[in-house]
């Protein structure tokens, strides 16, 4: 009899272990308890939802249309439903707007959330527990659409879980951006910083200044830097920009996935594409050309001594604000070479009028003037940590990229901070010390997957009060070396999965070995989605 009981208990443990082995959710949930058995979806599965969560219920119902050939039926009667979306505002204090409870038994799924985002993330957890074929684009009628029984209580560590894509140097299509937004949503990332302008191209249509796209989005060719070789000219014209209708389409697509798009209009540097279109924006007013080399900076920047510069920026931002509903707009502010300002009579006159002592203060004046306009329009600016130079604008957020020093300084000044130190979160860095074995060219700095995963955005130097100003972290994909969609994807995945877990999961709950095991399932999912990725073996 004891032997039978022992064997029965062992079988139950094995079943629970197998169930847990099938739960490969990234980012790791705050609380997860594996059960026994499975819930199976089929064409007869009924879904009920509170009216507040009806969109998320429809998202789940439609998930099976392509791969399984059926969509789940929506019913108003919770008692007869197999899957229940339940709006529960009392959970807000415990889990926030993005948290959720998910209880899966063999005969019922119950999702509870205080907000639409929480219910959406519960659906993403369900999607990750389903067979990887669900991520694909073709029917798989023979695959059983089952998920393990489990109890999950989950919420994010940070409110800013971001990713930046540089679309100036490498110009991806609308469909490519949508595909990437889908993957971001799957891993519960909620902020997409859209780097729309730089030396190599102006990518946003601005109605008041048509030359920005007529001239600024065009470059005669691209000078490509190769590893250990002489740069070569590809002799191929590069052009392209997003129309305002396309921008609206992408913004709406992201919003449906609870992703906020933060536009970046970089000033006063990284602006040669605009100066090529309107030379009077520079100190000299001389004709300029959109930069062909993808790497390196330029000293030809916007002139803060000319009133036209600020009129131009305000006109552009007015159209930006109409297109992007986000509270925050990124204004750059980084890598400003001031040699031109030092020779400019307009800048000298401005400094005298404003009683500015040096050129760092002139840069600060520039940023503060832009912020004043943005605040008047109800917007908050965020900039790279150089905006601290010469004095930080009163209400600005800071994105700390030159290490953590700028972020620490801003947090101590009680300004909100997004951590994005280049040595931990720049995805254009090579992924292995064996650089010659990597299939694509990248910056020489090494950023392995493990370093991304282990990064903690909250510096120990801060007090408990100051730590509250660290609102999240962001990985940045600069496209200085990117030439194809596969190259971009290879550099991004799966390091973006590591970013997702470090911004969602509490630091003490992370486990890199466990994360590596979960990646095996993600690699299969990437394959189904036709996404290029770099495999990181244990």
Q: Which of the listed residues 129, 154, 179 is the one where a domain comes to its end?
A: 154
- Long-range contact pairs involving 395-400 (C-beta distance under 8 Å, separation at least 24): 395/371, 396/367, 396/371, 397/328, 397/471, 399/330, 399/474
Which tokens belong to 173?
């299509």
What pLDDT, on a 0 to 100 scale, did the predictor assign at position 5?
47
In a domain, 237, yes or no: yes
Q: Are residues 352 and 229 in the same domain?
A: yes
Tell me which DSSP letter residue 89 carries: G
Contact 223, 294 (CB under 8 A): yes
Which tokens belong to 345?
């009579």
Q: Which of the listed residues 154, 181, 207 is the one where a domain comes to its end?
A: 154
Domain of residue 72: give its range: 21-154
Q: What is the CATH number of the domain that holds 136?
A: 3.30.379.10
Q: Are residues 54 and 165 in the same domain?
A: no
In degrees, rounded to 5, the angle at the alpha carbon of residue 481 between the alpha carbons of residues 475 and 483 is: 105
In a domain, 525, yes or no: no
What pLDDT, on a 0 to 100 scale, did the predictor assign at position 151?
98
Q: Are residues 193 and 137 in the same domain?
A: no
Beta strand ranges found along 79-130 (DSSP E):
83-87, 100-104, 109-113
Q: Are residues 26 and 175 in the same domain?
A: no
In a domain, 527, yes or no: no
Burial (Cβ within 10 Å: 0-12, 13-18, ≥19) of residue 388: buried
Q: Are residues 88 and 60 in the same domain?
A: yes
In degrees, rounded to 5, the angle at the alpha carbon of residue 452 between the alpha carbons of residues 450 and 458 is: 125
In a domain, 537, yes or no: no
Q: Which of the listed residues 154, 180, 195 is the one where a domain comes to its end?
A: 154
Per-residue pLDDT of the chain (538 residues; tens, 9 = 90+): 445 544 444 444 444 444 445 699 999 999 999 999 999 999 999 999 999 999 999 999 999 998 998 999 999 889 999 999 999 999 999 999 999 999 999 999 999 999 999 999 999 999 999 999 999 888 888 899 999 999 999 999 999 999 999 999 999 999 999 999 999 999 999 999 999 999 999 999 999 999 999 999 999 998 877 766 777 788 889 999 999 999 999 999 999 999 999 999 999 999 999 999 999 999 999 999 999 988 877 889 999 999 999 999 999 999 999 999 999 999 999 999 999 999 999 999 999 999 999 999 999 999 999 999 999 999 999 999 999 999 999 999 999 999 999 999 999 999 999 999 999 999 999 999 888 889 898 998 999 999 999 999 999 999 999 999 999 999 999 999 998 999 999 999 999 999 999 999 999 999 999 999 999 999 999 999 999 999 987 6
Q: Are residues 267 and 133 in the same domain?
A: no
What pLDDT, on a 0 to 100 scale, did the predictor assign at position 119?
98
What pLDDT, on a 0 to 100 scale, did the predictor assign at position 21?
52
In a domain, 532, yes or no: no
Number of domains, the chain: 2
Residue carrying the six token digits 């014209």: 237
Contact 134, 127 (CB under 8 A): yes
Q: Are residues 287 and 202 in the same domain?
A: yes
In a domain, 446, yes or no: yes
Q: Are residues 178 and 131 in the same domain?
A: no
Nearest to 453 by CA among 502, 513, 416, 507: 502
Q: Are residues 126 and 169 in the same domain?
A: no
What pLDDT, on a 0 to 100 scale, did the predictor assign at position 224?
78
In a domain, 224, yes or no: yes
Greatest alpha-carbon pair distance for the chain in Å reads 97
In a domain, 317, yes or no: yes
In degrees, rounded to 5, the angle at the alpha carbon of residue 485 between the alpha carbons of residues 483 and 486 is: 100
Beta strand ranges found along 405-479 (DSSP E):
417-419, 429-430, 443-446, 470-477
Query: Would you please indicate which residues are annotated as catalytic (active-site) residues?
Result: 198, 270, 335
Q: Are residues 140 and 164 in the same domain?
A: no
Q: Are residues 146 and 201 in the same domain?
A: no
Q: Are residues 398 and 345 in the same domain?
A: yes
């Amino acid at each position: 009899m004891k032997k039978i009981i022992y064997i029965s208990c062992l079988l139950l443990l094995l079943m629970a272990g197998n169930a847990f082995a099938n739960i490969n959710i990234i980012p790791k949930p705050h609380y997860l308890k594996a059960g026994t058995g499975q819930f199976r979806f089929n064409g007869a599965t009924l879904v009920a939802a509170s009216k507040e969560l009806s969109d998320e219920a429809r998202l789940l119902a439609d998930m099976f249309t392509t791969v399984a050939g059926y969509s789940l039926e929506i019913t108003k009667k919770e008692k007869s439903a197999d899957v229940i979306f339940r709006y529960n505002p009392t959970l807000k204090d415990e889990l926030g707007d993005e948290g959720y409870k998910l209880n899966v038994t063999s005969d019922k799924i119950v999702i509870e959330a205080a907000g639409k985002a929480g219910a959406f993330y519960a659906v993403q957890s369900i999607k990750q527990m389903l067979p990887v074929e669900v991520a694909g684009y073709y029917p798989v009628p023979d695959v059983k659409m089952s998920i393990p029984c489990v109890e999950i209580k989950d919420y994010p560590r940070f409110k800013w879980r971001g990713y930046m894509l540089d679309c100036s140097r490498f110009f991806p299509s609308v469909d490519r951006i949508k595909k990437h937004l889908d993957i971001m949503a799957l891993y519960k990332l909620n902020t997409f910083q859209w780097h729309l302008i730089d030396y190599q191209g102006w990518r946003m249509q601005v109605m008041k200044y048509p030359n920005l796209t007529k001239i600024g989005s065009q470059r005669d060719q691209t000078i490509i830097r190769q590893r250990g070789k002489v740069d070569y000219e590809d002799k191929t014209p590069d052009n392209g920009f997003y129309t305002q209708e396309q921008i609206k389409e992408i913004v709406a697509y992201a919003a449906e996935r609870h992703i906020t798009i933060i536009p970046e209009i970089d000033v006063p540097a990284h602006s040669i594409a605009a100066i090529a279109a309107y030379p009077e924006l520079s100190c000299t007013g001389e004709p300029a050309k959109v930069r062909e080399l993808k790497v390196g900076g330029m000293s030809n920047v916007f002139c803060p001594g000319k009133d036209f510069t600020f009129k131009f920026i305000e006109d552009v931002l007015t159209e930006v604000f109409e297109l992007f509903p986000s509270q925050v707009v990124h204004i750059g502010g980084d890598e400003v070479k001031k040699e031109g300002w030092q020779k400019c009579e307009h800048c000298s006159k401005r400094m005298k009028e404003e009683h500015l002592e040096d050129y760092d203060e002139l840069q600060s004046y520039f940023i503060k003037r832009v912020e004043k306009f943005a605040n008047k329009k109800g917007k908050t600016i965020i900039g790279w940590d150089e905006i601290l130079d010469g004095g930080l604008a009163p209400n600005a957020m800071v994105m700390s990229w030159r290490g953590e020093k700028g972020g620490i300084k801003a947090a101590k000044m009680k300004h909100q901070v997004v951590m994005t130190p280049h040595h931990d979160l720049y995805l254009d860095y090579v992924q292995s010390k064996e650089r010659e074995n990597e299939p694509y060219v990248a910056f020489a700095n090494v950023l392995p997957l493990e370093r991304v995963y282990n990064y903690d955005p909250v510096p120990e130097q801060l007090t408990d009060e100051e730590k509250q100003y660290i609102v999240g972290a962001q990985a940045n994909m600069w496209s200085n070396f990117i030439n194809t969609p596969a190259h971009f994807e290879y550099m991004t995945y799966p390091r973006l999965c590591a970013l997702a877990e470090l911004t969602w999961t509490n630091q003490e709950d992370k486990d890199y070995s466990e994360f590596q095991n979960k990646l095996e399932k993600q690699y299969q999912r990437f394959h189904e989605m036709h996404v290029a990725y770099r495999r990181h073996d244990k």
